Amino acid sequence: MLIFFDETFRQSLKYTNVSLGALCGIGIEEKDLSRVADDLYKLKYKHLGADFARNSEIKGKELLKNWVFRLAKGGTHSKSLALAFDLIHYIEAKKLSIFGCVCFEKGLQRFEVDNVRSLDKTFRFLFERIDMFMKIHRPNQMASLVFDDRDYGINQKNSEAITNFFQRSAYGLSIDSIVKTPFFAISQSQNVGLQLADFVTTVIGMRFSSHPEISPFYAHLKRAFVSWPTETGHWVSSLKVLREPSPKKGESVG
């Protein structure tokens, strides 16, 4: 299985001093990539025409712009929002699984590794969930991680830290259902996996930044999250949310 990832960074619309980063992904069977590409082409053609379908990539921030919501609220039909709803229904109908980490912790929410010998917990929590999903739902498969291309320096450090984690740490070595080396790709090459990852990451980022119009989209997308019980009876979701830690007693919050 290929799991494609994208990231978004947002300021809360509700609290002026709160920001977040989200790294989210969508799983697609390698054998299904051609079918998914064809299906997405048809959806793009249906709503935005042949030229867009052939030459343009799906970008969540373009489909879900604020002015598009305002027009729709005033009764104007929005092709962008109609495509967005169809994309979510497609993900739900095809039972594509979504994974992610939403981080409110200031020092970790950029998803940029500082120390290549110590992988940030944001990535570890994410990989732990993917590993458990694969063991439960795809026991005879391996997951390959495909990240959207960022700055070369960020890619290099993140890649080295992830590889070190999987190949040199005891915990990483125990995660045996994920290919040990991550891949990096670009969505502009009509990479449908990365385009879907961009879309779902945008919806999730808007939801956790308290965007007032995203709730109907998120409510449907949430059905693509996966959850499973632990041995202690607690349920774990494929979407991990890391909140800013509360100050200890006696510490200032300022």
Are 198 and 188 spatial neighbours (Cβ–Cβ below 8 Å)?
no
According to DSSP, residue 74 is labeled T
The CA angle 50-191-55, to the nearest 5 degrees, is: 25
Q: How far apart are CA 25 and CA 4, in angstroms?
A: 5
Burial label, 22 (beta-carbon count in 10 A; 0-12, 13-18, 19+): buried
Render pLDDT for 197-206 as a digit per residue (tens, 0 to 9).
999 999 999 9
What are the angstrom distances between the C-alpha of 64 and each of 25, 48, 125, 208? 18, 14, 28, 15
With cut-offs at 50, 70 and 90, classify the pLDDT of residue 247.
low
Residue 70 pLDDT more than 50? yes
- Amino acid 250 reads G
**SS3 breakdown of the chain: % helix, strand, coil, rounded to 5?**
50, 20, 35
Which whole number is the average pLDDT over 28-46?
A: 97
Instruction: Kindly tell me if the per-residue pLDDT of 253 is higher than 50.
Output: no
Q: Name the least confident of 4-13, 29-38, 90-99, 227-236.
A: 227-236
Question: What was the pLDDT predicted at 158?
Answer: 96
Number of helices and strands in the chain (H, E): 9, 8
The CA distance from 4 to 91, in Å, is 14
Instruction: Give the list of residues 6+ apart from residue 215 with CB closer than 8 angstroms, or none.
Output: 207
- DSSP secondary structure letters along 129-172: HHHHHHHHH-TT--BEEEEEP--HHHHHHHHHHHHHHHHHSHHH
Rounded Cα gap, residues 24 and 239, in angstroms: 8
Cβ neighbours of residue 23 closer than 8 Å, sequence gap 6 or more:
5, 6, 7, 100, 101, 103, 111, 122, 123, 126, 201
pLDDT of residue 80: 96
Q: What is the mean pLDDT of residues 93-111?
A: 96
- Residue-wise pLDDT tens digits, 147-159: 999 999 999 999 9
What is the distance of C-alpha 246 from the center of its chain? Answer: 26
d(CA 20, CA 104): 5
* Domains and their CATH numbers in the chain: 2-242 (3.30.420)
